[in-house]
Structure 1
Amino acid sequence: MHSGAPVWITRAQPGATATAERVAALGFSPIVDPLLAVQAIPVTIDLAGVAALAFTSVNGVKGFVRCCVRRDLPVFTVGAATAKAAQDAGFSQIRSADGDVEALERLVAEARPGPVLWAGAEAPAGDLVAGLRARGLEARGVAVYATVERSPSIATLALLDAPLTVLIHSPRAARVLARVLSNRTHADLRLLCLSRAVAAPLAEVGEPRFVTFAPRPDESALLELLGA
């Protein structure tokens, strides 16, 4: 992929802007046009009996912080970006799984901190709470944000007629993209996904396209694919 080539960033804000900055720093031309948008859910968070918090996204951290002032509980996060968001929010006891939801589940299960509260999306891609309960831990969840789908702009759709690389960060964004591409044939499209699970909804999209996923589920690994 040559320097200056366009890269469509499909993830929701505010993460899309941060990704665009990293893409630009690598010499490519970012196109920010999210397929998902985040909407805050106002909720009262009850921490009675809670021994630890778990977050599977940066938006989960932001949503919790918006609804609750406490920062004294230990925190378990899915990866480095979520851990940094928790640190920036004022939490000091943070452990990161540096992986996916299953890795976070294992980390919490090994630590067995006591009752866990997960804060995240209204319709999460993975069910951390169910996984923890299956391991014998007390856990409950609270939705602090909702993710809604949005359509790409006409200008972005026009880019599909030329060589284009697309970054996909979540299974839901991949499902939206699959629908967008369902009636299009374009062999020069490169679809770079954060993980195998993210790539799965794109497997049945017609026309031979280059679809691959990062060797580990973090954005640095995803961006390394740009130079491949």
Structure 2
Amino acid sequence: MRALITRPREDAEELAQELRRRGLIPVLAPLLTIRNRAGVVPQLDGVQALLLTSANGARALAAATGNRELPVYAVGDATARAASGLGFDAVENAGGNVEDLARLVAENLDPKSGALYHAAGTRLAGDLAGRLREDGFTVLREALYEAKAATELPAPAKEGLAEGSLDLAMFFSPRTAAAFVTLVTEAALASACELVAAYALSPAVRDALSGLPWRAIGIAARPDQESLLAAVDADYSGA
């Protein structure tokens, strides 16, 4: 059983290892390329905590500053693991989405103790800063990286669809899903998706995939990698 991974290469290998443990063959076809923005230096004076909404943000922040002492509040498991692996000393994990992260921050921090620094990308999913400002926090949001979308379908995806050798495909963001739909349609391979089951991290990702005739679409119970893998397990355990 062959599983298409559309995540950026920096995030794909951990997922590939999880799929191999399940007896599935990962096929890597990144649809986004992550680039850190040159010359951006975080100003952290007066900041009480760092906010991370992606593993890409964790990596970009680690590259931009040597500060590892400020506490980190991470949106979910993969982001928390990335931050810990990069040497940040104190990492709190919201284990969910932006709303969960905002709730965790509001429960544990005092707006009077200093600003919050959000290490973000040039494109945002959700309004973390707006949510926290409603609770009285000052949020300094800075774009430390950008995600460049592929302009054509990566060869592993194109070949897998053309040959009918892909069994499932995994999608983690509406942007990636929408890009896949566009590139597959441009490559005249839409009908090949009738043989493929898609797995979406959230209903928003599922909606972005609706332009293709998938064999089936599974949705994670929660917006994290573990839940998406659980959805795959339910269908392919022992494959």
Partner of 1:211: 217
Does structure 2 retain, via aligned residues, the 8 Å contact 1:168–1:198?
yes
Q: For residues 71-86 of structure 1, what are the structure 2 equivalents within 5 Å?
A: 71-86=68-83
Q: What whole-Å deviation, never above 9, does each CA across 1:62-106 have from its counterpart, x for those lacking one?
A: 111111111111111001221122222222222111001111111
Q: 1:35 aligns with which of 20, 26, 31?
A: 31
2:177 aligned to which of 160, 174, 177: 174
Of 13, 22, 26, which aligns to 1:26?
A: 22
Q: How many angstroms does 1:208 deviate by?
A: 5.2
Structure-2-length-normalised TM-score: 0.87
CA contact (8 A) 1:34 1:152 kept: no
Taking the aligned partners of 1:110 and 1:79, their CA distance within structure 2 comes to 17
| 2:8–2:30 Cα contact (<8 Å) kept | yes
1:104 to 94, 101, 105: 101
Please point out which of 185, 191, 202 is paired with 2:198.
191
Using the TM superposition, give the Cα deviation of residue 206 of structure 1 relative to its aligned residue in structure 2, in angstroms. 4.3
Structure-2 residue corresponding to 1:8: 4
Residue of structure 2 in register with 1:127 after alignment: 127
Q: Given that residues 31 and 154 in structure 2 are in contact (C-alpha distance below 8 angstroms), is that contact kept between their aligned partners in structure 1? A: no
Partner secondary structure for residue 47 of structure 2: coil
Q: Which has the higher helix share?
A: 2
1:139 aligns with 2:158: no
Spell out structure 1 runs of 4+ moving beyond 4 A: none
Q: Is the 1:112–1:137 Cα contact (8 Å) retained in structure 2?
A: no
Flag the 1:15–1:206 CA change in 2: closer, same or farther, 3 A. Answer: closer
Please, which of 38, 58, 61 is the counterpart of residue 58 of structure 2?
Answer: 61
1:157 aligns to what? Answer: 158
- 2:231 paired with 1:225: yes
Query: RMSD across aligned C-alpha pairs, in angstroms?
Result: 1.7
| 1:24 shift after superposition | 1.2
Match of 2:42 in 1: 45
- Give the conservation status (yes or no) of the 8 Å contact 2:30–2:154: no
Range that drifts further, 41-50 or 176-185: 176-185
Runs of 5+ consecutive residues of structure 2 not aligned to the other structure: none
**Per the alignment, in what secondary structure is the counterpart of residue 92 of structure 1?**
coil
Give the AA of the match of 2:31.
Answer: L
Give the letter aligned to residue 34 of structure 2.
V
Q: In structure 1, list runs of 5 or more residues that go unmatched.
A: none
User: Take 2:215 and 2:99, find their aligned partners in 1: how far apart are those partners?
Assistant: 29
Corresponding letter in the other structure for 1:35: L
Which residue number corresponds to residue 86 of structure 2? Answer: 89
- Deviation per residue, 1:25-51 (Å, 9 max, x gap): 110111001011101112111012111
Give the distance between the partners of 2:213 and 2:207, measured in 1 at CA: 16
What is the number of equivalent residue pairs in this alignment? 223
Q: Give % identity.
A: 31
Please tell me whether the aligned partners of residues 198 and 218 of structure 2 are also in contact (alpha carbons under 8 angstroms): yes
- TM-score normalised according to structure 1 size: 0.91
